[in-house]
Amino acid sequence: MFGLVFSLTLGWPAPGAAHVLQSDGTVGVRLHVDPGDEPMVGQSSTFMLEFQGHHAGFPLDRCDCQLVLFLDGKPVFTRALPTDATSAATIAHVFDQAGVYRAEVAGTPRPGADFKPFRVAFEVRVLPDASAPGPVWWWARQYGWHKSHQWLAK
């Protein structure tokens, strides 16, 4: 009951509040999705992944890391992360369907790396196209469909 009252009186958290660091062991990952944490069907979205390790930076060049997007439990997009960056990576994607996606980031160490395999997950809500007919678009904006990526249990 308290949660219902809290939600009704204070509303949803701001999208920026969702940029939490998710960690598994000694590796942490922060996710941001452009544009404005409100990906939309038919528009290019950029996943920005910031990594943190127990040392300064994170050795992406020593990690077999990938981003997998799931919809309804099925993988719909898989991409290996570029290894030419020190502790951040970006990947572009165009969604073809609105819904709640699970964005999973996983990595295994290459020889010489000093971290253990990791896996973290985020929730990403994709809005319908702005030209979609009916009240769905209005509802999504008014009631926070777009308040995105919160951590999901593994």
In this model, does residue 102 exceed pLDDT 90? yes
- Per-residue b/e over 78-93, b at no fewer than 16 CB within 10 Å? eeebeeeeeeebebeb
Summarised one tens digit per residue, pLDDT across range 57-95 is 788 888 999 999 999 999 999 999 988 767 889 999 999
Cβ burial, residue 112 (10 Å; 0-12/13-18/19+):
exposed
CA distance 116 to 25: 7
Q: Within 13 Å, how many C-alpha atoms sit on residue 69's CB side? A: 24
Helix and strand tally (H, E) in the chain?
Answer: 2, 8
- Amino acid 152: pLDDT: 42
pTM of the entire structure? Answer: 0.73
